[in-house]
Every structure is written in structure tokens, then in C-alpha cells.
Structure 1
Amino acid sequence: MQSVLHPNGEGAGRIAEISWVMFIGAGIIFLLVMILLTLVLYGTPRAKRRLGRRSLVVAAGLAFPVAVLSALLAYNLKAASSLIGADEPPAVRIAVIGEMWWWRVQYLDADGQLLFETANDIRIPYGLPVEFVLRSDNVIHSFWVPRLAGKLDMIPGHVNRLRVQASEAGLFRGQCAEYCGAQHAKMMFDVQALSPAGFQRWMTAQRQPAREPASASLYPGRRLFMQACAQCHTIRGTRAAGTLGPDLTHIGSRRSVAAGVLPNNIGTLAGWIADSQHIKPGNQMPSFKHLSGQDLRALAQYLESLE
């Protein structure tokens, strides 16, 4: 569920609070206007004369709107100022780069050096501040996880920073919120909030290189990958070191394929490899229709084993 009215983070909670105050304020004003309009149209002659007095017109038409809107504006500015990130360093720093049409996710150390890279799958610890370092190398994208924080644009040549703190464990859907091309609607990602201990275990596992195939049946798939896919994709621990596409070192542990378009399993992996241009036209991965069904299954089984 992507709902700003069901917040699970400090930033999203403040945005929801601002929204409710504005909705309630606008509702009360609307109700008062409707009452006055009803009295003007259907009230007694005496009520109509009273409503037509100049002092009431000035009070209701000028003084009241200025006072109420000024109060709402002051509240909004004060509440919105609290959304600005604090000065203390975050517990986790994650760089997110908007691609066409997927998300490159890089986990950084305290000095900003790369620890490891993943794609379309973000894990954070709940209860701790996390800083997202947002940028784009192509067009304007917008990073938005409605239940955790507000949206923030990713502008080529510029770096924006977004502070997020999840209040509890959970899985939260994110979305590009700025039209960026034909497959904008299919540019999704997941943010999973884990316990701090669970997050550290996940970090430790993600920093490891890919394991050697546990079964001889996986070797044909690995051989095919090195022949057809290593030019664009990385699998740490192998000679595959391409950077054009997502890092696939631990793709088997991800929930989805193609930036949230398909669930991650052998069948969807094989389907995506065979005809990615049919599933997501215009993306940078070519379709491998020339591969046989046996080859596709072997390649998908190898990728699924990379947990």
C-alpha cells in the first residue's frame, strides 16, 4: 500500500499531520461558507439584512480569511521545517541513482566509499536515521516512499539528500514520482525495514562475493551468463564486471525482477531474459529470444542460486 495517510516513518508522519490539519481547516471553512450561503438564499429577511451589513462583509470576507490562512501558513512552515535533516551523522548512508528504468542502490561507509551495490531492493534498520544520497545520470527522476517520507527529485548534475527513519519493521513500496519516459510507471522498488541486528546480518551477507555453484547442474547456467551477460552485469567473485546493468551478485535474495514488475523466481527470470523488450519496451536490456528453453532454465536457475 502506497499511502501518505498510513505513515511508518517520522517524515511521513509529519506530512500526514500537516495534511490532516489542512484538510480539517479547509473543511471547517467550507462548512461555514455553506451555512452563510444557505442563510443568504433561504434565510428570513431579517437574517439577510444582518448578513448584508458592511462590517460583517469586511470581517467574514477579509479579516477572517487573512487570520485563518495566516495561521495555517505559519503552522505549515513550522511543521515543514522539522522535515529538514538533523546535523548528526546518519547510521546508514545509501546512494540511489535513477536509471532507465530501474534503481541503482549503493551502500556507503562513513567516508562515502562503496561497500556493495544492489538494485531495486533497499534494506534499512528501523529506529535509526538513514540518509539517501539521490542523483540521476540521465533525466529527472523522483524518489518517493509514501509511508516513510516525502518525495525528492533526482536531478542530473545535482545531489539531493533525504533523511528517513522507519518507526517499525515492514515492507514499503517506493515509486518514481516524476515522469521519466515510456516505462516510468514500471520503475518501482521495495524498502524493507529490519531490526538493527537483522540489518547488520544482511549487510554482512551482501558484502560477500557470490558463492560457487553448489551443484554441477548450475555450471551450464554460469557458463551461459559469462558468455552473454557479463559484459553488462557484475557478479562479484567472478569475472563478470559489467556496469551498464544491475549488479546481480545476490539477485536470488531480491523480491522482484525488472524494478518491481515481476516476482523473482525461475520462471520470471527466464521470461525476462527471453523477452525483456516485450515486458518493458525500451529498456536497455536486449531480448535473448535465440536461447533455447533449456538454456533459459539453466541461466535462470544459476541466477536464482545467487542468494
Structure 2
Amino acid sequence: MTTLPLTYSPEVATALKAGAPVVALESTIITHGMPYPQNVETAQMVEADVRAAGATPATIAILNGVLHIGLTDAQLTELAQATDVMKVSRADMPVCIAKGATGATTVAATMIAAHMAGISVFATGGIGGVHRGAQETFDISADLLELGETPVTVVAAGPKAILDIPKTLEVLETHGVPVIAYGQDALPAFWSRESGITAPLRLDDPALIAKSAKTRAAMGLKGGQLVANPIPLADEITRDIIMPYVEQALAEAEAQGIAAKAVTPFLLQRMFELTEGRSLVANIALVRNNARLAAQIAVAYAL
């Protein structure tokens, strides 16, 4: 790994050298998840939330072929306005670096980079998973397989509501990934606090979540763990309200032949339009909520 183009922001380098808590953050939410300027404003708020909870944020991205662990404010702003940014997962990451291109990291790619950098906790919005109709398309996010391989604790608001959640849980179980609901029995589903499914596991204490990750490592078990953190009650869009919009957006994507990596950005944009912006407000709230919990876990992990 020593020959890989890799650079740390001054803030992250200082924290890692001191053994202080660090939280990894993805960058596709900046380039593919929200419009400008909400994307950079949200990224800055999320980083501030991590700092306020006692940890150092490390937003991860590839800039001109260099893998950055932590971005400066200027780099965040530049990335937020960039065009033709690659959406990078495990398969694309080496190609993006080799080409000298700019790429935003998905959950899978962020996990890889975080592990390379020695960062054990990562906050995101929602994870990818098994898409509807996967029995025909085999469209399953690399996020799930990465959770089974890479030892990083991922804090998310559960699987995205646009997914086939029962099949997503089955794949995670097959790969031995603990799915831990935080503070409730129900598995959250991104915009909604409940998916209609009981989570396999529940923990109510960030310190126990950190201890669980350390125990997995001590046992020699590969892979990470998924912490499903429900969106704050005041910000949620309940399932009875959101699901008709989800079904409409999915039907439109199928009718237009949108597939693979283009699906999620299309669906998120349509949800923004159909909910008249309410989905974006909820998205920002849940990402910030996840960042705060991830920072608490990272602080406990560093003890």
C-alpha cells in the first residue's frame, strides 16, 4: 500500500497520529446525492457534527488520481461543483486512481479506504442492497459484500426504502454481517423509522457497539457490522406517506430502462421532486444523526 497515491488532510493526520477518534465519511452524497449548494453545506454540517461529538471527520474521495483521507474546505467545495465525477466502488477504485480521475466513494469504497487508513467507524446515509426485481436483474449492491469482508462499523439509517429490504437482510446474514438496530427493535428504512421488519440485533449503547467490533476482531472474524440508526422522530417521513412515492419512482425507472449505478441517483432525484423537497430535508437530518452516533462509537472505540 505504500506506493499508492494516498494523502491525509492535516486535521486527520494529526488525529490518527495521536490515536484520537476519527469517523470516515463518504463522498457520493456530495456528488450524486444532493444538488449544489445543499451538498457542500450538508457535508460541512456533518463534519461539524462529528467534531462536536468529540471525533475528527475524514471525508474520503479521489481527486485527480489521489486517494484523499479527509478533505479541506476548499477541496469539499471543489468536489461539490465538479462534473463528470466517477461513482467509485470496489471494482472502479483502482481504475479511477490509475487514470488520474476524480471519483466519489460509495459505501464499499469508503470502507476500503477507511480500513487502509486505520479508521474503524464510518457514517453514511443509507446502505445499498438488493434492488427490487434482483431475481431477474441480479442487481445487488457491492456494499453488502464489502460489509462481509472489511472490518469497519458502518452507521446508516438502515437500507434505503427503494430496496428489497427482506432480501437485503438475507444477503447480509449469508455473509455473516451483524445488523444492529440502535435504540429500538424495528429495522429503520432510511426516511422512515420503521420498515415493518424486526432487526436481527439491538444495542442501545455506543460503547457496546464499539466493544462488539473489537470482539469480532479478537475472534478473527472478517467483515464489519451495520448499525441501523433510525432517523429522528421529528424528521421522519412515515412509510404510509413515503412508499407510494417510492413505488411511483421505481415504476418510472423501469419504464425508462434506468439500471445499475444510475438507479439510485435517479430515484433520489424523483423522490425529491415527488415529495416537493421533503425527502432531501429528511436525508440531511438522518445523515447528521448518523454522524453524531458514529462519533460516539468512535470515541468509545478509541478508549
Which TM bucket (shorter chain)?
Answer: under 0.3
Q: Please state which structure has a larger fraction of its residues in strand.
A: 1
Whose relative contact order is higher, 1 or 2, with alpha carbons under 8 Å and at least 6 apart?
2
Larger Rg: 1
